[in-house]
Chains A and B, each alone.
Chain A
Amino acid sequence: MTAVVTRADVAALLWRVLLQFEALAERQYTAYAPDLAGQSKRDLIEALTTRAAPARLLETTQLRDPVSQLLARAAGDDKVATLMTQGLVLEQLGAAIYLTARRSDLLSEQDHALAGAGYDAALEVNRRAMDAVGRLGRDGEELVADFDRATGDVISRLADLGDAVDAEFASLDISFADLLGEFSAELIDQCIDLGMPRRRLVVALTNRLMGL
């Protein structure tokens, strides 16, 4: 049974989830892609910490297992995996969540401001990740294969979040289908700009989302 009862509680839970993602991102960037670690993320983490629900609250919700499983798979151990998994995929996921929160009429002014800061920070890091991936100098076919290898596990776990997101964040009008649509649209567009062949990319993403 969850202890999340008010809309403010739900928002605090959202920030707790995002804090876990941001904290992992900061550790990964520091270890493997220092160019992506920066003050905007550190400021964001500090802001999220002040508004996030206690960690033990997340443990009582349906989000506990899918979030921890996704995070476990996002902790890669090299630069390319970090650039792609954190810098491209998870920053775009974060951006989709922050954007949806920012647009919601159901959050407080402070939460809207935090969502805005989160969105800006996510896009800033994502742009730098995109530049870094571009500098790898790989051709499109190689790149999509590398991308699938590096991120496939995380994308597969993403689909597991669906029920929990819908159950826990319905009162904020946040739906997993909307998030996945927004995330996919931005990620696919970005990856095409990086030179990945569109069809191969979409098929790879679909395979992962369908559980392969």
Chain B
Amino acid sequence: MNGIAKADRSPGAAEDGGAGAGAASVDKLMGLAVFGELTAARTYNHMSKLRPEHGELLRKFAAMEGAHASWFMGASRDNGINPDRDFAMQELGYLTDQVNEYSDAADFDSLAVVQGFIVESLAIATYEPFLDIADRYPGSRVAFEQALREEQYHVEWIKRYFRLRFYDAEDEFVALTEKVNVRGVDCVGGTMMNIARLLDEVGISGTDCAGALMDNYAALLEEAGIERKAATRNVVKLFTPLIKAYREQSDATAP
């Protein structure tokens, strides 16, 4: 990460599609990554207190998320990126409210759905394609590769937790996810739609990421025990108003 040329943030640099492209967009996206990871750390810490039998592992998850935030901050410093905290806080506010509510209600399972499935699905859907452009931001590839591996590790545990927790109780699991999805998908899916154009500006397809998010989450629900079509039905239904809002905004800003 040392001795590498910083990203060119001069106005003309945006045209070359290289490290300087969409500097403000990069600041926002990296802000969301940094503060999103810190929110994830907080959430896993909440979860560790609600289930002491899993406390050690969940504190380890929290520490990993905190490390991701540090790495991303380091990569930002090395590349002249200023993670946009205000943007991140605006996007994360709705999620934080839900996390606080579930935590106050000692509702571990809802936290697991929100953080372990929905939020992690967003992280994976955006970190994976970022690796295609990571070399424009020297030092970031190592950070995002490791973070991606660790998000997938977290998801793997959450899946196993739910398979055991709701073994032979699929209806209860369906009811849980449907309850959490109403706000969880609205929140995280809404963020996905809000950052889709930012992703486009830095060279990642925002709509591809949205598709990946939907597929990631539906697949996780299926792997945790929900019948495939039921999972797809629920996820698509909840994404429909978000897709509509995205299209309306696209139509409104079209030349």
Chain A interface (Cβ < 8 Å from any Cβ of B):
159, 162-163, 176-178, 180-182, 184-186, 188-189, 198-199, 202-207, 209-212
Contacts and interface: CB of A to CB of B under 8 A. Distances in A.
Given A159-B243, A177-B240, A211-B250, A205 B211 contact: yes
B246 interface: yes
Contacts, number: 77
B240 A186 contact: no
Given A159-B243, A162-B244, A177-B241, A185 B210 contact: no
A207 B207 contact: yes
Interface of B is mostly: helix
B77 interface: no
A71 to B, nearest CB: 20
A188 B214 CA distance: 12
B238 to A, nearest CB: 8
Interface string B211-235: 1101100110000000011101111
B24 interface: no
A31 B154 CA distance: 53
B158 interface: no
Nearest to A176: B240
Contact of A185 (B208, B212, B236): B236
A207 B205 CA distance: 9
Contact of A202 (B215, B241, B243): B215
B232 A181 contact: yes
Given A180-B240, A181-B237, A210-B246, A203 B208 contact: yes
Contacts of A199: 211-212, 215
B179 interface: no
B108 to A, nearest CB: 28
